[in-house]
Amino acid sequence: MPSSAHPTAPSANIAKIRERERVRVRRPSREEALDAVRTLIRWAGDDPTREGLIGTPDRVVRSYAEFFSGYDEDPVALLQRTFEETDGYDEIVMLKDIRFESHCEHHIAPIIGKVHIAYLPSNRVVGISKLARLVEVYAKRLQIQEKMTAQIANTLDEVLQPKGVAVVIEAAHQCMTTRGVHKPGVSMVTSRMLGVFRADPTTRREVLTMIGTPGSGSSEHV
């Protein structure tokens, strides 16, 4: 891809995303987090001081740092560097089957699936690895799938200002496969269409055809 960089969207759009990202809470100390895990182990009915569990609080806290690293990432910064030298390319750009792992904000149970992202450039494109990293930013937070779908699409739309954005997510939620109703093999599909993908049925059909029918292939996120 050409190397000439270009500033991204107007400051008003950047400010809108920054405002959404500004919500922060006071994080407890690491020792407080370790004590919280020990409390949950006792609540489960076991002894956090026995040999097999004594190192578990440390492992859980380190796992949480990885699971929820998206709170420390800036989605705007990922999309800051864009490129205009595309030799007039003006068709759909798509990245399919971006695997992600997230956690349901209601039960902190895993959500595992894949994201399909497409956009129709206006006058600039972004490196494809940035699309995958944008998924990671929002996946590595406590989530519901509907909100994550909207966050990815809205951020791409506001920062890149393309002619259209399409985001489709299909995922399995372990809050309903391993607890509650216990229904394994069920995938949830959500989508958000903006710009021409929302307004033009022909363009919408084109992007959905490129994605294919969600859930129709083999799935590893069971």
Instruction: Please give the positions annotated as active site.
Output: 104-107, 145, 173, 175
- Name beta bridge partners: 165: 119, 194
Rounded Cα distance between 186 and 215, Å, is: 9
What is residue 29's DSSP assignment?
P
Rounded Cα distance between 13 and 19, Å, is: 10
Rounded Cα distance between 155 and 79, Å, is: 9
Rounded Cα distance between 2 and 20, Å, is: 32
Rounded Cα distance between 183 and 172, Å, is: 10
Tokens of 156: 């791409």
Rounded Cα distance between 105 and 33, Å, is: 18
